[in-house]
Amino acid sequence: MNAKTNLLGAIARYNSKKNRSDSDKVEILSAIEELEDTNPNPCPMEKKELLDGDWQLLYTSSKSLLGLNNIPLVEIENIYQSIHTSTKKIYNIVEIKGLPLLDSVMVVIASLKVESEKKAGVKFERTIVTLKNWLKYLSPQDIITQVSNKKNIFPLDIKINRALENMTNANGWLEITYLDHDLRISRGNQGNIFVLSKI
């Protein structure tokens, strides 16, 4: 079994469990480190043709993202990240299942600044939360087009200005530690790990 297959298998087992143990996380982290050692693209920020596009989150160690599932009557369906190197933008899209007719989508838009061959600075600029029905939401690319063409999205559309930057973690960085044609591993400035599959 190769390192990539090993990691995907560990993530599939982890995601299928309701009660997850520390040993499950250790298995994934070990598989991640093993795959990172075989990274076929050691200068991932230069591989725009691989970076660009829509990615679906398979696994994260981020407690803030995982905490969304602890909100009553709310369930995360899917999390996507769309990278547009030509416009230096990242779109993080969270599909949220709630009460009937209240399914929502959250979009967090950030600017991207290459800092090294592996690392990019990330500055969060805008957060949008709305009902899928209001936007007639179909797909990540569909909502990216809509938020790019509209000045404001009802009911919640927050542009992160300097005042908000001082109160929130509006700036950070992302280091890509593994990249191939359909899998990416990234590590963030808060120690979080993200494993994503290209769609």
Can you list the alpha helix ranges (DSSP code H) found in 53-157?
Answer: 63-66, 132-135, 140-149
126 token code pair: 């805008």
pLDDT per position as a tens digit, 9-58 = 999 999 888 777 888 899 999 999 999 999 999 999 999 999 999 999 99
pLDDT cut 90: percent of the chain above it: 53
How many CA atoms are closer than 13 Å to the CA of 122, on its beta-carbon side?
23
R_g (Cα) of the chain, nearest Å: 17
| pLDDT tier at 156, thresholds 50, 70, 90 | low
Q: The whole model's pTM is what?
A: 0.86
Domains located in the chain, CATH noted: 1-38 (no CATH), 42-198 (2.40.128.280)
69 token code pair: 């599932």
